[in-house]
Structure 1
């Protein structure tokens, strides 16, 4: 406490420092990218010669119209040529680096920044394993400063975008004035198994290729803040009773990795959504009715419906999520950023609006974040 003497020699009143305003990370820009070729669900059924009425019904009633995929050329029998695990890993590397680099450049463009200003790069993927990771490969591909700090988040699945954003935002807060970028690059075409089982059909009816990037910064006091929202807080919930309900593991029969989705997972996620969302909001003194924008992972029609019903949301509330599912399928970790991009395109956000970001994935885990414009 500082005390000074007045002209009379008496002590002045204590000088109280103004309360400090906590530094918060802000979203400065977002960008997305997909592969070059898209297919309707009927195109895919015909291309792979799938005639089983149960599987055809699964594809055609998925609320997905088109997905971007990278399918191998047809063999002598007219069917796409099978790919061994090594070929799939090579495909993942090629597609993920290409999409990730393009999404990153788009996010910087939208933030009014360039590659030379990146100080931290976090890359997220589950659809393939690389060493060195995507961060190193994208830094080399784009000529980013080799001294850039970097981290790779691998294997966390569809929820990983918010897990990584939590760490990226924390880095930005610890380094005011610097630029952090998170990239989610999922080459789901490199994680497919082709057989006649319903386990495989559920997965193959959902996923598409896509990458999304987000620029995060915590401005210094004398810096102008970006127009994007402040990232206020995160909340997470691990459903321990359903750890194996969503997984990516080795298939001995196919001699490759494959996804598994338990048919009950939409209802498990829905039943636990209220707990984590209410915890997220109560920390800020908010209720669900205070949230103007809901950006939920496009995990699948049943997942979206289960979350919507359990949280008391309208179809309008999740319009971006259902639109992304319709046009791209499930894009894994970057799906929620495709929804965020659509929200910005509407130009409907008002200063002071709150938004909730939500992702779901293996663990089974629900991740959430609270933002405010």
Structure 2
């Protein structure tokens, strides 16, 4: 399907696509240690049959995690909230730096090209923020502008992409990067309850970075993408055409990260009904995203949905009428990494690029969901 490009998607006064931000590269990183679900159960000493069933029926085969260190008896140590914050700082910086460098390499850019760095995290709190620590760690120019999105949850990668794409359009030719670094094992509480079992069975550690630039037919003059560039097989990456959001205020407490007074630490909570809340609103937000564009859902060639969990993915598939092929990268990332929070959709995007199936003119929808309860979407075109 062809969409008129001079005033794209029927938006009055909209800028030409060349003035939209373009994705020119992506990079990911995970810890060196990975575990199967049975190995995690063994490491955490979980014997309860109901809890074990949550782990073993999660559609997750392996996750990269930084588990608690062993004590003198070979058992996993109990980590205080201070220990967990230290873990987050160490591993978010280390993984984040590797993901950023991988993203720049794939983009054909260097640290010297970076003009804005936006860091996203929910699994720990840092002041100064992760962006300042990454800039120091990698020796990035002190004049690089920065921003931090903290505490928004699994949807936050698209929230950041929305804001930073605006920065890119306001600064044509300048390189911006959104970096999502989530050390989810820094948010674990091990207490044997079903509440924590759901969380501990689902999340993995990982970081993902995506590079943006606006201005010119290929972002900054000729396409400077590295191998695969932003689009795969040398194809320029997609333009970010528009965003749409949907918050469900009546479900504001359905996903939360708050203080557990009994455990004396932060603890994440997922309401068992959240897959159905997400599914019921997926159609609403996607219809809003496509409204006025002339596009139907059947015109979308690529769906990159947050790997929120098996039931969440199933709910999105049913409510949007998608096929299992449409969400193959979403389910693949869940299988191989678990839920990586804010960066999950970028792991799926990287797989799409490596697959090399995106073609010029193809449309794609990016979708994340998280606390609020919130669904975020973006429409892109190669």
Shorter-chain TM-score range? over 0.9
Match of 2:121 among 120, 125, 138: 125
Q: Give me the whole-angstrom Cα distance separating, in 1, the residues matched to 2:73 and 2:371.
A: 37
- Counterpart of 2:278 in structure 1 is 269
Trace 1:1-16 onto structure 2 (pairs within 5 A). Answer: none
Residue by residue, what CA displacement relative to the aligned partner does 1:241-293 show, whole Å, maximum 9, x if unpaired?
10000000000011000100000000010000000001101232211000000
Match of 1:314 among 323, 341, 354: 323
Residue by residue, what CA displacement relative to the aligned partner does 1:105-140 show, whole Å, maximum 9, x if unpaired?
000000100000000000000000000000000000
- Counterpart of 1:5 in structure 2 is none
Q: Give me the whole-angstrom Cα distance separating, in 2, the residues matched to 1:74 and 1:189.
A: 15
State the shift of 1:189 in Å.
1.0
The answer to whether residue 221 in structure 2 is matched with residue 212 in structure 1 is no
Q: Give me the whole-angstrom Cα distance separating, in 2, the residues matched to 1:140 and 1:122.
A: 14
- Counterpart of 1:10 in structure 2 is none
- Counterpart of 1:326 in structure 2 is 335
The answer to whether residue 162 in structure 2 is matched with residue 153 in structure 1 is no
The answer to whether residue 353 in structure 2 is matched with residue 344 in structure 1 is yes
List gaps (5 residues or longer) in structure 1: 1-18
Larger radius of gyration: 1
List gaps (5 residues or longer) in structure 2: 1-13, 226-235
- Counterpart of 2:252 in structure 1 is 243
Q: Give me the whole-angstrom Cα distance separating, in 1, the residues matched to 2:300 and 2:96.
A: 31
- Counterpart of 2:194 in structure 1 is 198
- Counterpart of 2:51 in structure 1 is 55
Q: Give me the whole-angstrom Cα distance separating, in 2, the residues matched to 1:252 and 1:178.
A: 46
Match of 2:16 among 21, 30, 33: 21
Q: Give me the whole-angstrom Cα distance separating, in 2, the residues matched to 1:45 and 1:20.
A: 53
- Counterpart of 1:224 in structure 2 is 222
State the shift of 1:88 in Å.
0.6
Q: Give me the whole-angstrom Cα distance separating, in 1, the residues matched to 2:91 and 2:215.
A: 33
State the shift of 1:220 in Å.
4.0
State the shift of 1:367 in Å.
0.2
- Counterpart of 1:300 in structure 2 is 309
Q: Give me the whole-angstrom Cα distance separating, in 2, the residues matched to 1:65 and 1:49.
A: 18
Q: Give me the whole-angstrom Cα distance separating, in 1, the residues matched to 2:293 and 2:317.
A: 22
- Counterpart of 1:289 in structure 2 is 298
- Counterpart of 1:253 in structure 2 is 262
Q: Give me the whole-angstrom Cα distance separating, in 2, the residues matched to 1:44 and 1:187.
A: 16
The answer to whether residue 63 in structure 2 is matched with residue 67 in structure 1 is yes
